[in-house]
Amino acid sequence: MRALHDKYGPVVRISRTVLSVADKDMLKQVLVTDDLRKGTVYDNTAFGKPNMFNLTDRAAHRHTRRVISPAFSIRYLAGLEPLLESVIDDMVEKVEGDISAAEASGNPEAVIDLWHLTQAVALDAMGECAFGETFGMIKNGSHPLPKRLTEGVRRGSIFFTNGFLGKLVKMSGIKMADPYIVNFMKDVIHKRMTAEAPRKDILQILIDAAKSEKSSEQLSENSVMGETMLFLFAGAETTSNSAAFALIALLQEREKFEKLREEVDTLEYNDDNKNFSYESLKNAAYLNAVINETLRLRPVTAAGLERIAEQDFVLGQSYHIPKGTTILANMYVAHMNPEYFDEPELFKPERWLEGYEPAPAVDAFYPFSAGSRNCIGKNFALQEMRLVIATLIKKFDFDTIPESMKDAEDIRHFITLTIWKDSFKAKVSRRKDL
């Protein structure tokens, strides 16, 4: 088999049976055109129940996605907007309260952990929009979930990335899922299953499917449990981390911060509650450019996506791939290829604006995967990130803390990218020119 081993080569052999692919046309072939099946690494996830992330069976995944997809349609998500806005209101109230407390002690700035704040927002957003009640993370600031989730992701990554170890653990019968989180979610589901009246949110779609008498619309109780576990992990460890990474980049690049603030100041509020409207954020060019650039540099899929050849095939019209070969779709390498993105190591939101030259290779940009296995929660995640970033930029001023900026450089990958210290603090004050 022919293989290139330079830094940005299209195909790199990792072992006799594993290849890493970073060429944009080959990525499209693997993920979209040929839509290769997910690899065996997904059998080793720590969720403990089947869900759309770890299902490798095509028919089972197709059925589950068809049943759940109405919960993530644009129209349905629009109906959840008031719930998401209430979480944003809690975030603003919390930050203003911390600033007031600092001012009372003679300090105009409050030291706030933005990493924890975005995680709290994500958890409460999931609570409100998916589980029927807030977790109270923003207001109370304490709950066993965040620490348990972080530990679970770090522990689970050992099994997820080490196929042999993962198989041994499964064969041993050891439960990889945290029993606290499992029991917590069981209680949430039981409460909703026995509720007198339905509630319009994401979990209700799953509850209705569990109760459906039509096989084409049914989900098993195991599937409901698996999907709610997935929502919880995804809400805490992907959207929140991405929003925090965007804030860190903006504080590192103050001219980008100011440029975003100029745009944010022109965006319309909803008249009744003074939150940003969905339409204004959806069409905010520079805000979306900041998010795209963050997802390019700090992609959730930084470790790549594993697929497996179910039969012999030709990759990129050049490489004969034998049946059983594992292919790692390496998005991060594609995102950092200078042939696809000008000065790829720099944070340049401008590259995503209309008219920028050289234009970015949008067909090499896969922050939410692609094909039949693309992220079903993409629209929800994007809107949450837009609301968090735009609201904080609009209402508050920020000063960096050198130690925290240094700590933010220590980035590790578990199942997702994270800051090793699991913390990023900044000085936050009321906006002076508002």
Distances (CA, A) of 70 to 97, 124, 389: 38, 22, 27
CA distance 63 to 358: 41
State phi, psi for 324 to the nearest 5 degrees.
Answer: 90, -5
CA distance 305 to 21: 10
Q: Say if CB 20 and CB 289 are below 8 A apart.
A: no
Is 375 annotated to bind a ligand? Reply is yes
Beta-bridge mates of residue 326: 18, 308
Burial class (CB in 10 A: 0-12, 13-18, 19+), 183: exposed
Q: Is 244 helix (H, G, I), strand (E, B) or coil?
A: helix
Q: What is the largest CA-CA distance in the chain?
A: 70
Distances (CA, A) of 173 to 51, 118, 154, 158, 170: 20, 35, 20, 17, 5
The annotation places the binding site for heme at: 375
The annotation places the binding site at: 375
